[in-house]
Amino acid sequence: MAQKNLQDSSASHWPEAAQTLMALMHAQGEVARLSEREQLFCTLLASINAVLWAFDWETRRVLYVSPAYERIFGRSADQLLADCNQWRDSIFPDDLDYAERSLAEVLDKGAVEDREYRIIAADGQVRWLSDKCFINRQAEPGQPVIIVGLAEDITDKKQMETELHRLATTDALTQSSNRHHFFECAHRAFAHARQQGEPLSFLMLDIDDFKTINDTYGHQEGDNVLQRIAESGRAALRRRDLFGRIGGEEFAAVFPGCTPQMALQVAARLQRQIQQMRFNHEGQAYGITVSQGLTSLSAADKNVEDLFSRADAAMYQAKREGKNRIVTA
């Protein structure tokens, strides 16, 4: 009888024990799956080239920063969590006001998705960030205001954009503005001069007897002459001035805010510099000269093409009068 009771007792407890064991095995499996998910999440965070971050606006504390922070900024995440100024101090000085102002805008807008600014990494490299930030508008009154963000490293994209812009606006041979970019800038300079009532001058320059240089010394030597002219132009002109190659051996310049007298002084300085140039091809030395046409903005000018036409006509007049001179119109 006692043996039967023991058997009954054991049988009655088996289902409960089995259920407990199954529950423990299930829990262990869930822990394993959670661990796998956590590892996968960490792997994904480490692989993306962006920093996930969370910031308490009231206490000015960084609550979370993803592993990419240390890779992109080159600085310790622990130090950032202890002092949010670590991020602020990394921002490029010229961009600091914008970065702080645009961050504060998220309080009113709820999201700011077009923030782009530069940082200086620990190794001294300047990097570009696209730093989108968002705020939870569902937060209960009295709850902390938490801003979350995604700061993506867009340095490569910015460098590509810069290179594409350079290729689109620069003459490949002389590294001066190409014709399209020069006249695009010249139109803006004309509009600004008209709006502000400021003076503006336009210069055309053509290398004298350039065909003879190509025929005598070869096109490679002719290219060298064009490059030297462009270098001289960039050196002689003021910082605000525009200079570009607009044709084969033709260059042009626009002098914003420059009176006719000042423009003539700049043109004369450029003329002297070019006259002093010396070239040598296979032991044969030679020099070059240029003819220039110069004009200034008048009340009758409707657009920059009016100045271009006058300067171009003055340049060809300089050719007819014997070359190596400046003619004003």
Active site residue 163: no
DSSP string of 5-19, one letter each residue: HHHHHHHHHHHHHHH
3-state secondary structure of 154: coil
3-state secondary structure of 277: coil
Measured between alpha carbons, how far is 264 from 59 in angstroms, rounded to an integer? 62
Give the β-pairing of 200-207 and 242-245. unpaired
Active-site position among 36, 58, 198, 249: 249
Alpha helix segments (H runs only) across the chain: 2-47, 68-73, 77-82, 85-88, 96-104, 106-109, 155-169, 179-196, 210-217, 219-236, 260-275, 304-320
Measured between alpha carbons, how far is 73 from 118 in angstroms, rounded to an integer? 11
- The count of other CB atoms within 10 Å of the CB of residue 258 is 26
Active site amino acids: 249
